[in-house]
Amino acid sequence: MSGPFQLTPLAETRPGMVLSDVVRDGKGNVLLAQGVVLTESMLASLGRHGIDVLPIVQAVPAAAPIDPVAVRARLDHVFRKHDRDDLGDWATGILRRYVEDYRLEREVAA
C-alpha cells in the first residue's frame, strides 16, 4: 500500500486506473497484483469473479496554480472575527499566518 487510494465500485472503474493493492477472490487467490493498470478485459473478468469493489490509486490532482490573492481573501473571510491589532489575541494571529504559509506553500525555516 502506498499513497492515497479509494475503494471504488467496479461499475465506476475505468480502464487506465491503477490498483493500489492486490485483488483476491473469495478464496484468497490473487487475481491481480498491486500496481496493475486496469484494462477493459480485466474489469470484465473481475466482474465474473464476483469482485464488486477495487482499491484504486487516487490520481494526484494536477496542482492547480495557487492564487495568492484568492487565498488571502478567503483567509480574511474565515478569520473575520480576528482583530490584528488585538495583542491579546496573538494565538489566532499565529494560526492565520501558519495556514497562509501552508496554503501558499512557503518555505519555512525549521
Partner 1 sequence: MNRLTPEQLAAGVQDLPSLPAVVMELLSSIEQEDIDISVLAKKVSYDQALTAKTLRLANSSSYGLQVKVTTIQQAITFLGFQTTRNLITAAAITGCFPSGQCAGFHDKSFWRHSIATAACARALARRMRFNQDIAFTAGLLHDIGRLVLVTGHPDAYDQVVAWHAEHGGDWQDAERAVLGIDHVDAGVALADHWNFSSTMRQVIAYHHTPDTHGAGFLAAIVHVANAIVHALDLAGEDDELVPRVSSVAWDAMGLNEEAYLHLFRETELQFGEMSTILMT
* Chain contacts with partner 1 (rule: CB under 8 A): 1, 3-7, 21, 74-75, 77-82, 88-92, 94-96, 98-99, 101-102, 108-110
Between 49 and 96, name the residue whose CB sits nearer to partner 1: 96
To partner 1, the closest distance from the beta carbon of 65 in angstroms equals 18
Q: Would you say the C-alpha torsion 93, 98, 100, 101 has a positive or negative sign?
A: positive
Contact 72, 101 (CB under 8 A): no
Q: How far apart are the first and last CA of the chain?
A: 30
Between 30 and 44, name the residue whose CB sits nearer to partner 1: 30
What does 72-95 look like in DSSP terms, one character per residue? HHHHHHHTTT--TT-GGGHHHHHH
To partner 1, the closest distance from the beta carbon of 33 in angstroms equals 15
To partner 1, the closest distance from the beta carbon of 41 in angstroms equals 26
